[in-house]
Amino acid sequence: MAIIVDTNTRLVVQGLTGSEGSFHGVRNRNYGTQVVAGVTPGKGGQDVEGIPVFNTVAEAVAEAGANTTMVFVPARFAADAIYEAVDAGIGTVICIAEGLPAHEMLRIYNYIRPKGVTMLGPNCPGALSPGKANVGIIPAEIFRAGPVGLVSRSGTLTYQIGHELTQLGLGNSTIVGIGGDPVVGSSFIDVLAKFEEDAETELVVMVGEIGGEEEEKAAAFIEAEMSKPVLAYIAGFTAPPGKTMGHAGAIISGSAGTAEAKKEALEANGVRVGTTPTQVAQLVAERASVTS
């Protein structure tokens, strides 16, 4: 089955005619994803290496059957692009663009949730279901198919842990990057719930970082709702309080949002937390050997 993206994904790339949009859109297509359209207002009728370009998402839905969008437009246009996609009937939005103001994302979040739209990002690497579909900027060649679900706030840590798993002979059902901004379309809980229902996922790795309280909320959800084992890694044990470290959402204040506090919350709810990406992969390998 996998989650969020699979063989049924029919992707439209908003911003396909731009340099980044075309590079990753074609790369996703070459991986095997059904990239059925691009959208750039005013450039309808053109194509990018055989991928037709439309003026609107509504045209891409009506004429190419698009059901998922990858938003690769500048931040100042990204919010409008998301609204356009949702209003056109797109059910899955993956926003790679970064720099969206938090207050704008709050409006988007409250607009899409009642409609049942699944959104990843902004400021995220996307989602990959190995062997099925890649939507985003994830380097698919370092992953392999398998039973491990992976959800992360960090892109590069996702790649590292996924590669460590591959080297140990393990693979992933789906790799999901939710994004590192303070307000994102999907939380850890949203994705964990999808993995819990996915027949191809046997255990889950959650990669968190300092800032906010999403990991603490996820810990309570895991204890109450998850039957599948969850392992975790938290980045930022040496981060000084009050300092932003990388992502806009990765900031701690006093004792709130620290890596240690998140680790304690997770372990109190039965989630083992690795201290390095390599250790996390080793814990997964140990758990997989026990459950196999």
Tell me which residue of 212, 267, 200, 201 sits closest to 236, measured CA to CA.
212
Own/partner pairs for 45-52, CB < 8 Å, 24+ apart?
A: 46/17, 48/16, 48/17, 48/22, 49/22, 51/13, 51/16, 51/25, 51/26
How many domains does the structure of the chain reveal? 2
Residue 209: predicted pLDDT: 86
Same domain, 116 and 163: no
Mean per-residue pLDDT over the chain, rounded: 92
Residue 250: predicted pLDDT: 47
Read off the pLDDT of each residue in 156-161 and give the average, rounded to a whole number.
89
Calpha distance 262→285 (Å, rounded): 23
- Helix axes 188-197 and 214-225, enclosed angle (nearest 10): 30
Digit-coded pLDDT (tens) for 55-68: 999 999 999 999 99
Same domain, 161 and 232: yes
Q: Sign of dihedral through CA atoms 168, 141, 162, 90?
A: negative
Count Cα atoms within 13 angstroms, Cβ side, for 45.
2
Residue 238: predicted pLDDT: 54
Q: Which of 24, 103, 163, 247 is catalytic?
A: 247
- CATH code, domain carrying 33: 3.40.50.720
Q: How confident is the model at residue 239 (pLDDT cuts 50, 70, 90)?
A: low
Any domain includes 136: no
Q: What is the 3-state secondary structure (H, E, C) of 11-26?
A: EEEECCCCHHHHHHHH
Calpha distance 3→222 (Å, rounded): 18
Q: Is the pLDDT of residue 272 over 70?
A: yes
- How many residues are listed for the chain in this entry? 292
Same domain, 150 and 114: no
Domain hosting residue 24, numbered range = 1-123
Same domain, 151 and 282: yes
Digit-coded pLDDT (tens) for 15-31: 999 999 999 999 999 99
Any domain includes 135: no
Digit-coded pLDDT (tens) for 89-127: 999 999 999 999 999 999 999 999 999 999 999 999 999
- CATH code, domain carrying 161: 3.40.50.261
Same domain, 114 and 209: no
Q: Which of 123, 157, 174 is the last residue of a domain?
A: 123
Contact (Cβ atoms closer than 8 angstroms) between residue 247 and residue 235: no
Residue 211: predicted pLDDT: 79
Contact (Cβ atoms closer than 8 angstroms) between residue 162 and residue 170: no
Any domain includes 130: no
Digit-coded pLDDT (tens) for 183-206: 999 999 999 999 999 999 999 999
* Residue 163 among the catalytic residues: no
Q: How confident is the model at residue 155 (pLDDT cuts 50, 70, 90)?
A: confident
Q: Which two tokens stand for residue 100?
A: 């969206």
- The pTM of the full predicted model, rounded to 2 decimals, is 0.93
Same domain, 4 and 108: yes
